[in-house]
A and B are shown apart, each in its own frame.
Chain A
């Protein structure tokens, strides 16, 4: 088994066992509930206001926003929470140095960490998001319209846009986490990027249920990912990782 796979499997198990990961799951679970009820209320209000043909774009937008928020929480936030806690502990206790002294390249270690925090978030996040969209349909839209309403751009955002963004952010957070003294600080990068994206895209006039919004998320995620890969080539060295851990 290659060093990458060994560390990926190990980190995956460690992430799922780590307290911070469990806290992340709890926060996401608690965070989804108010989102669901708030958006259900909005949808019901919109549908009660006018004919379906009139409110259809607004309902699409509200549904798109719901899917976006839930998938951000599940795929991005959960991923970061899962990875950062383990990274901090491994650096503080010298386990990272021991791993790096074993036959493994620093880039393989980084990729393994990215996969270990992104994969479970994706596996949990996508079905949960689809479930919320289905539940909003069943409880708000179907009773008023008589059919399931799930535009393809929303599915594209949830199934591709946010996962690509999540992968990009997982790469960025783990890269920063490996290079700074306290990997928890790397979470701030996620907050900054997510706030920036969720503010810039609507200001550009992109509807949550539009193809443009799905593409914009994929592009942003791709950009963050590519930027992280390039930055890793220049900055990710064993020396930097070791010396950053020393300051913990």
Chain B
């Protein structure tokens, strides 16, 4: 943090000067701004030699190690410096006010000392952000994810980064050039780098879940289930949500030609129709063993009047019950005149049929 602060200390001093004379007018108002720009340019020139970042022959080059070393204080300082350099107080008062609003929220020691890598999480704004206002963004759910970070600090950080990215580069580049703009906004780049890393992990997690539900290891569907699950895409829980996370549910409507049971000491096979739901378990620890399966299933089980394999359960005199699947292992119980407790394994013998 000390390094962050020292790199931008010229900026901080200058901001304080400018704000101290905020009520002045004419030359007295413009002078601090000009002095500020001169000071910043000097600081940058000196800072380039000292700064712990890789500098190419022609351009400043971002160093990803900064993601670990920069703190919230660096981001706030960059925002303050940029705001002051760009002269937003006079030229863009709405942005100035918004920046100061979120900065005042974050400017607490317990927040300012937090590393950006620790506070960076993918933003969880759902729905259209085209007409988003600060209040809307700040209301977005985002759990406190670091010691010292209060409920609304996360959204405030997102809003600060949003304002910086949306307003500062185009205001600063004509004043100080691309290189200096990039140098000043390095904390923002670091914050976005950390957030993007988290976002990539989020995308890969979504794909892992899609693979669990649809990939080679998932239960195969029969023709009826294909149609029912096509229709279920209109229902929450079955379709992907707005952020693209897959729904955990799937319709089960299958014919199992052989559930196995024991009657009077003899093994017997019984055909059963199942109608229910399959729920996929997203936990990474699950999906690799019988004890920790990739999915559960539950629903109505229907058997015919008599115990028989490959028979139609719907030919009259049905016996009703329930089935429960723990991954591939399934158990079913049917009532009626001849109650049965049966077992089977999830499998598809004839593709798209049963």
A and B co-occur in one complex: no
**Interface residue ranges, B against A (CB under 8 Å):** none
Task: Enumerate chain A interface residues (CB-CB to B < 8 A).
Answer: none
